[in-house]
Structure 1
Amino acid sequence: MGDAIELDDVRTWPECLQQRFAEPSSELAPLTDELLVELLEGRPLRMYHATRLLPHEVDRIKAEGLLRLTHELVQSKLDDAVRVGAMTEAQAVEARAGSIIETKYEGRREGQVCFVLSLDKFEHSPGDVGPLLSSWGGESIYHVAALDPPRRALMRSLGLPSIVAADVPLSTPLPYTSPSLSSVIAWHARPRETLGNETPRSSADVFLTADVPAANIATIWQAGSPEYDRFEGLPSGN
């Protein structure tokens, strides 16, 4: 597996991928999933997971990678939060009962790890990722807590806003991506001066149905670091 491809930096793209988008679109065959995977030449794609992490969770991701949402993962996160004194047992029981995985929202996000494809999301659309970086636990835990002021305050007090960069190899079938991966790549391939006032398609939400091993975790940026703080408008560590 070669170096990661970063959509924000065309210089990291394989030459064949650059050439594919340099040609007039009218002369090209449709970009199928199979062709796109071929153009990536077996190299992983850099993706970004927005979340809020307690110190032990940073160590866990470095050791275990990013795990898909399951009942067991929710319980493990809450058990560990109690163990390190971040919340009480009663608060953990309440959070579990109100989590997506136990409520009418059951099934939402289950079995997935969610990413965005481009740092443009953090730079130009901070409101899209703000909730993920503002409340601890991920959507599975904070979603319903957001409706209750005391629980919302607790979730917003835990951990630090964090961006986990992961290098994800792709194969067919491609994970569900909205908008499509091909449209996002095409947007990045075009010279900025040709985009005019078009609606940006610089990033996409990716719903990966596989764990990301620790070996594929590239880095973790947290509030207070230069890498995180360069993005104006993101939640701070306070």
Structure 2
Amino acid sequence: MILDYDAPATWPAEVINFLDETVAILDDWHGVQRFATPYEYDDIIRRLYALLEPHDILAWHNTRLTAREAEAILANGMFLPSVDALLQRIDAAQAEGAFSSAIADGFKGRHQADSPTRAGRIWFLFTRPHNDTGIEDFLRFWGGESLYAAIDRDPTLGPVLRSVGIPSVVEAAIPIALFPDSLGFESHIARQFSAWRAGHSYDGLPHDRVRVALPRECIRRIVTFPSADFSELTGCDQYYEPL
């Protein structure tokens, strides 16, 4: 079953039942903490992960892709980022005429693809992108954060990054078992459930990274600008600076 974080009513029955059994402790822990202990809360989160692990979770990767790159993801899935992978992307885009060899050399000399938070990690949001105001640059600049983070303001290289590819959202259904050392999305799920049962909203931004290549079976679709689906998914019509 695919868990849609934004729709708690559709979650697997065993997850809902477990959270209903523990919601009093969760509400107290998320609130005034009159009686809930960290040991109780940690045990709930550990047991919650065990219930989630057999399922997939709906996820979104926000990026900018050339037509060839999008076709490759749909055909083959997503590879792990690395220095070599980025250099290959740059060479391929140059060969397609996206930019000159001088620009390619500038990209190769200024990237941050060896950063430990980027290499070997594919990052995903578990809530729809329009809930996160921090995704705009992923859609605005080609090459990913490992490339644009150092050069987005460069007067020569930055504008080129804006011209390559199309703003895209890769929608995937990812086995939760691929997040064995999660960054805490279980806590977001617990908070989302408590808020839902209480009749109000929770504005957390659950996200995590996979450390293995993602097979094509996990890819549901790629939504691209300027389609209506893209606007609805990203909320880009509300951006201060248009894409």
TMscore range, shorter length: 0.7 to 0.9
What's the TM-score once normalised by structure 2's chain length? 0.82
Q: Please give the residue correspondences for 1:100-139 in structure 2 after superposition, counting only pairs within 5 Å.
A: 100-101=112-113, 106-119=115-128, 122-126=129-133, 128-139=134-145
Moved over 6 A (4+): none
One-letter amino acid of the structure 2 residue matched with residue 26 of structure 1: I
* Unmatched segments (≥5 aa) in structure 2: 27-39
Q: By how many angstroms is 1:6 displaced?
A: 1.0
- 1:236–1:60 CA distance, 2 compared to 1 (3 A): farther
Matched, 1:153 2:143: no
One-letter amino acid of the structure 1 residue matched with residue 132 of structure 2: S
Q: State how many pairs are aligned.
A: 225
**1:82-127 residue CA offsets vs partner (Å, 9 max, x unmatched):** 121111222112101110036xxx43411100111111xx22332x
* Alpha-carbon separation, structure 2, partners of 1:219 and 1:235: 27
- 1:234–1:60 CA distance, 2 compared to 1 (3 A): farther
Cα pair 1:71 1:101 within 8 Å, conserved: yes
Matched, 1:204 2:220: no
Partner of 1:194: 198
**1:143-200 residue CA offsets vs partner (Å, 9 max, x unmatched):** 11113122111101111111111111122862442xx21221123223548376x872
Cα pair 2:49 2:186 within 8 Å, conserved: no
- 1:159–1:96 CA distance, 2 compared to 1 (3 A): same
| Greater share of helix | 2
Aligned residues with identical type, % of pairs = 22
Cα pair 1:145 1:151 within 8 Å, conserved: yes
Partner of 1:94: 106
1:227 to 226, 229, 234: 229
One-letter amino acid of the structure 2 residue matched with residue 78 of structure 1: I
Partner of 1:214: 216
Between 11-20 and 182-191, the greater mean CA deviation after superposition: 182-191
* Alpha-carbon separation, structure 2, partners of 1:224 and 1:171: 34
Larger radius of gyration: 2
What's the TM-score once normalised by structure 1's chain length? 0.84
- 1:171–1:192 CA distance, 2 compared to 1 (3 A): closer
* Alpha-carbon separation, structure 1, partners of 2:191 and 2:51: 16
One-letter amino acid of the structure 1 residue matched with residue 214 of structure 2: V
Q: By how many angstroms is 1:41 displaced?
A: 5.8
* Unmatched segments (≥5 aa) in structure 1: none
**1:205-225 residue CA offsets vs partner (Å, 9 max, x unmatched):** 212211111111011111112
Q: By how many angstroms is 1:52 displaced?
A: 0.6
Q: Please give the residue correspondences for 1:77-88 in structure 2 after superposition, counting only pairs within 5 Å.
A: 77-88=89-100
One-letter amino acid of the structure 2 residue matched with residue 31 of structure 1: I
